[in-house]
Amino acid sequence: MSDVWVDEWLGTARFARYVDACSGDRARALQLYEWNVQAGQALMHDIAHFEVALRNAYDAAISARWRSRTHWLLDAESPAVVPIWRTKTVKGMKRGADVNTLTRKSVDSAIARCGSAKATSGKVIAEMTLGFWRQLTTNAMEKTVWVPYLHRAFPPGTQRSEVDRAIERVNALRNRIAHHEPISTQSGSVDAEQVHREMLALLRGIAPQVHEHLTATSTVAIVFARRP
């Protein structure tokens, strides 16, 4: 029986990646695709819990030391929106650049979606993406966000660079899953299991009880054990 419908459904180029991973066995390739979807669903469950814990831990860490009555995300002096100027070399020429441009646009867009002047901090926080929260631990945010605020959300001695690297990898994995890309190392992509372990390690530091709950409810290990 012809399985041309699989190529028509998934696209020849997309399915070919799974066929190659299965040494040309198209039946096994389809099984691998189905497993990839199941693995993505299991990972997204855990990433969703991690993201909510992360954003609330960040909000608590900043809010506890924010001196204005206006919430830090809605304040004009927020470290997430004020210009942060750095010198960059572009084609051999030094130029000043505002490295906070993307975060400012993200915050402004979220506020607009939440009703502009009527926006509440809770709604705006829920609108911010994982990519936004990751930006708060980049090197550019070391002095304005990490040192005065965010390092307090983690155990003493936690390195900003390690946190940033781990969250960047989690965000990249999340985006791969959202775009239905392969996550199996056997298909030549990201080491999802390693990223998952790094994510759990971060979660243990910022929210131990959430970590305990997540490890009890996660199905990632079960799904990965069933990899074709």
pLDDT at 223 over 60: yes
Question: Is residue 81 within 8 Å of residue 104, measured between CB atoms?
Answer: yes
pLDDT for the residue numbered 91: 77
Q: What is the 3-state secondary structure (H, E, C) of 113-140?
A: HCCHHHCCHHHHHHHCCHHHHHHCCCHH
Q: Considering its fold, how many domains does the chain have in total? A: 1
How confident is the model over 9-65, as pLDDT tens digits?
999 999 999 999 999 999 999 999 999 999 999 999 999 999 999 999 999 999 999
pTM score: 0.91
How confident is the model over 185-216, as pLDDT tens digits?
554 457 999 999 999 999 999 999 999 999 99
The residue type found at 159 is Q
Question: Is residue 31 within 8 Å of residue 18, measured between CB atoms?
Answer: no
Domain span at residue 69 reads 4-225
Question: Is residue 79 within 8 Å of residue 141, measured between CB atoms?
Answer: yes
pLDDT for the residue numbered 190: 74
- Looking at the DSSP assignment, which residues form a beta bridge with residue 90? 93
